[in-house]
């Protein structure tokens, strides 16, 4: 076994590998960009080496810098994690040339499977079923359009060199093809450094089924059963489970056998995943990921195995720890990916500081994360905050635990998909196991309903939290004053003559909500609109507020920073902002109607120029951030007055990208 391993990655997967390495007595070496100097994976590692500036191209994709860190640290092997260089054959080859063991498959397997076109040709030769499409080497735009018309619309354009939804576009008819192809190629180059694509028939309601496979250097190949990854957004997985619900034994066996055939066809060694798409009675090979998958924890949960340990043992030259007949499934596991993103804005990634962060107890769910409270979500890397993995003796128990785990999770300071995930877990179709890749699009009204006003308990919890914070601050100030018992340090509304009250005013969405609070011998009497509520409570160290509301005790999570307060209750979140009654009120938003950057990023494409008339909804400029493209469209008819940025420019969130004049104005 190795004595020291370098992890060529960051975030939760780096932390995950470090934990297993330490359990096996292996020293772990981390690498980090300037943006990650204080990251959790840096703290957990035995040593950490800087590899460059924040952009991934200059750090986590910098092969020379990573090999330099491995050489200088004395590491014997490199674990690539997933993403970044994990499926880069040149990196694997460079590791071998430097005398380092690459903890992954042979270079030949990476090259064969790294090209989706070559992979499909190889699978076809070995009898693995393929979806109708084109995966040839002729990448001329005209030829690709001809092939799309031959296959029949709708089709899917996919980057040949990678996955994860990047470089992928659904095309409904020929008129959309050119623009979709250009976008897919740009995104493919940005994510994988390769603009080649392939064309596939787009299936309307398929399921996404994948098989975890493992192979060693002694010719042994096994599968560790299947995972269902059908619930996706923007062609990226957000929920995975094992085993796949509703999959009969014959289909399960056939898909697993096809996966093992695929692995043997390519001479595979190590951990890999063979992905299929299934519709009706048929299933088709999509791709093979020559690395560990993000969703590997659900397989670990139902098999009781540590897949990173298996990776390390196989890479060190050991045989597989178990044979196929010894592998069994127990129970059911479901993983959700908690992202910093806005489901109401087409899952646009979000950035910011994690002012508050709370995860469920270990007995309720496994949490894989690479962040802590106080860390920042930056535009440079993937926006995933954590993976929440629930396990039960059967699927019903796993779903119930997942629902409870999501209700016990809270993130404050950056927008997330937490409420969206909670609604997915509560949807009747998901609960019954009736899922396919169109689940999210079909159920947007249920999964992303409009914001509703904060109910009384939420408003009461926010008010009580701020009242308790003021009371505590006053006690601290009194303790450090000359007279700690001075009545002037009280904040309970005490007056020399008569009773008084405090008034708190919150902004709840577009509305203002007033709470009048009067202290009554240990309790607070709150006047909420036309209702009076008697409230008491105390704040726990974990941000939980134990609140007694008209005699009923309830646990509510409340997090605050400055004037902002977030209340988490039963899987929902409300954001309230306290208004200073002496401050400016009702100021008009000076940024309304501006075409501004939705987040920090790089300009990928500008589609207009000054003087050009545009229509509402027309795409104007494309921003690349967090490995994805985001199109900014015209908010109204108008004429382009000015274009502030050019392709390649970096922009900050909120920066004005394009100035539009009303349609009836001509430029001078």
Residues involved in catalysis: 291
Q: Which of 645, 640, 644, 647 is nearest to 609 (CA)?
A: 640
- H/E stretch holding 577: strand 572-578
Q: Which of 123, 114, 124 is nearest to 93 (CA)?
A: 114
| Residue 221: strand pairing partners | 215
CA separation for the pair 668, 611 (Å, rounded) = 9
Would you state the structure tokens that stand for residue 438, as one six-digit string?
A: 């169109």
Would you state the structure tokens that stand for residue 322, as one six-digit string?
A: 């178990």
State the burial class of residue 28 (Cβ atoms within 10 Å of its Cβ: 0-12, 13-18, 19+): buried
Please write down the long-range contacts of 178-187, taking CB distance under 8 Å and 24 or more positions apart. 178/141, 178/145, 181/141, 181/144, 181/145, 181/157, 183/622, 183/629, 184/157, 184/158, 184/159, 186/604, 186/605, 186/622, 186/624, 186/629, 187/159, 187/624, 187/628, 187/629
| Residue 507: strand pairing partners | 512, 577
CA-only gyration radius of the chain, Å:
27
DSSP assignments along 322-372, one per residue: S-GGG----SEEEEEEEESEEGGGTTEE--EE-SEEE---TTT-EEEES--
Contact 422, 448 (CB under 8 A): no
Taking each helix axis as running N to C, give the angle between helix 89-97 and helix 107-114, from 0 to 180 degrees, rounded to the nearest 10.
Answer: 170
CA separation for the pair 53, 50 (Å, rounded) = 9
CA separation for the pair 315, 68 (Å, rounded) = 21
Contact 596, 656 (CB under 8 A): yes
**Which residues make Cβ contacts (< 8 Å) with residue 53, sequence separation at least 6?**
33, 34, 59
Pairing of strands 384-392, 366-369: antiparallel
12 in helix, strand or coil? helix
Contact 83, 382 (CB under 8 A): yes
Q: How many CB atoms lie within 10 A of CB 468?
A: 17
Whether omega before 279 lies within 30 degrees of 0, making that bond cis, reads: no
Alpha helices by DSSP H, 34-101? 40-44, 63-73, 89-97
In Å, what is the CA distance from 105 to each residue of 214, 270, 275, 281, 290?
10, 5, 17, 32, 7
Q: How many CB atoms lie within 10 A of CB 551?
A: 7
């Amino acid at each position: 076994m190795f004595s020291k391993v370098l992890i060529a990655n960051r975030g939760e997967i780096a932390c995950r590998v470090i934990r297993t390495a330490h359990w096996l007595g292996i020293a772990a070496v981390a690498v980090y960009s300037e943006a990650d100097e204080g990251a959790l994976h840096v703290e957990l590692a035995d040593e950490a080496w800087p590899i460059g500036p924040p952009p991934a191209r200059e750090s986590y994709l910098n092969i020379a810098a990573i090999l330099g860190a491995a050489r200088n640290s004395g590491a014997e092997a490199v674990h690539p994690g997933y993403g970044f260089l994990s499926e880069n054959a040149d990196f694997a080859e460079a590791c071998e040339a430097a005398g380092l063991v690459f903890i992954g498959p042979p270079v030949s397997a990476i090259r064969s499977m790294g090209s989706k076109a070559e992979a499909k040709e190889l699978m076809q030769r070995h009898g693995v079923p393929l979806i109708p499409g084109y995966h040839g080497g002729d990448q001329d735009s005209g030829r690709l359009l001809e092939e799309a018309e031959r296959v029949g619309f709708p089709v899917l354009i996919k980057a040949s060199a990678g996955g994860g939804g990047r470089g992928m576009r659904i095309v409904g008819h020929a008129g959309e093809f050119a623009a979709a192809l250009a976008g897919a190629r740009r995104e493919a180059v940005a994510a994988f450094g390769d603009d080649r694509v392939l064309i596939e028939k787009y299936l309307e309601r398929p399921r996404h089924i994948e098989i975890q496979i493992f192979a060693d250097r002694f010719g042994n190949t096994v599968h560790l059963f299947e995972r269902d990854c059908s619930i996706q957004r923007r062609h990226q997985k957000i929920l995975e489970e094992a085993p796949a619900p509703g999959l009969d034994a014959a289909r399960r066996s056939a898909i697993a056998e096809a996966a093992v055939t695929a692995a043997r066809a390519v001479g595979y060694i190590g951990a890999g995943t063979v992905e299929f798409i299934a519709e009706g009675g048929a299933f088709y090979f999509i791709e093979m990921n020559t690395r560990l998958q993000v969703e590997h924890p659900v397989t670990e949960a139902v098999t009781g195995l540590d897949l990173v340990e298996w990776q390390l043992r196989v890479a060190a030259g050991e045989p597989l720890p178990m044979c196929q007949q010894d592998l069994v499934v127990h129970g059911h596991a479901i993983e959700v990916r908690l992202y910093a993103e806005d489901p109401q804005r087409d899952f646009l990634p979000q950035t910011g500081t994690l002012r508050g962060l709370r995860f469920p107890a270990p007995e309720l769910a496994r949490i894989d994360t690479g962040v802590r409270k106080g860390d920042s979500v930056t535009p440079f890397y993937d926006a995933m905050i954590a993976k929440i993995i629930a396990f039960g003796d059967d699927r019903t128990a796993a779903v119930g635990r997942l629902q409870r785990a999501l209700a016990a999770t809270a993130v404050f300071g950056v927008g997330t998909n937490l409420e969206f995930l909670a609604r997915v877990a509560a949807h009747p179709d998901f609960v019954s196991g009736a899922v396919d890749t169109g689940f999210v699009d079909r159920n947007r009204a249920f999964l992303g309903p409009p914001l509703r006003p904060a109910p009384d308990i939420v408003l009461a919890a926010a008010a009580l939290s701020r009242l308790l914070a003021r009371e505590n601050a006053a006690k601290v100030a009194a303790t450090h004053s000359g007279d700690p018992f001075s009545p002037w340090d009280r904040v309970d509304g005490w007056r020399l003559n008569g009773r008084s009250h405090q008034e708190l005013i919150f902004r709840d969405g577009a509305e203002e909500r007033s709470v009048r609070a009067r202290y009554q011998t240990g309790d607070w009497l709150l006047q909420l609109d036309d209702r009076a509520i008697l409230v008491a409570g105390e704040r726990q160290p974990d941000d939980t507020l134990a609140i007694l509301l008209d005699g009923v005790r309830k646990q509510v999570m409340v997090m605050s920073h400055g004037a902002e307060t977030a209340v988490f209750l039963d899987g929902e979140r409300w954001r309230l902002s306290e208004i200073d009654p002496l401050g400016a009120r009702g100021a008009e938003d000076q940024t309304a109607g501006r075409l501004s950057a939705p987040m920090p990023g790089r300009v990928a494409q500008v589609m207009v120029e000054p003087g050009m008339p545009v229509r509402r909804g027309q795409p104007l400029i494309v921003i690349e951030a967090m490995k994805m493209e985001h199109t900014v469209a015209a908010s109204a008819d108008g004429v382009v007055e000015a274009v502030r940025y050019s392709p390649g420019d970096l922009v900050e969130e909120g920066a004005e990208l394009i100035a539009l004049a009303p349609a009836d104005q001509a430029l001078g």
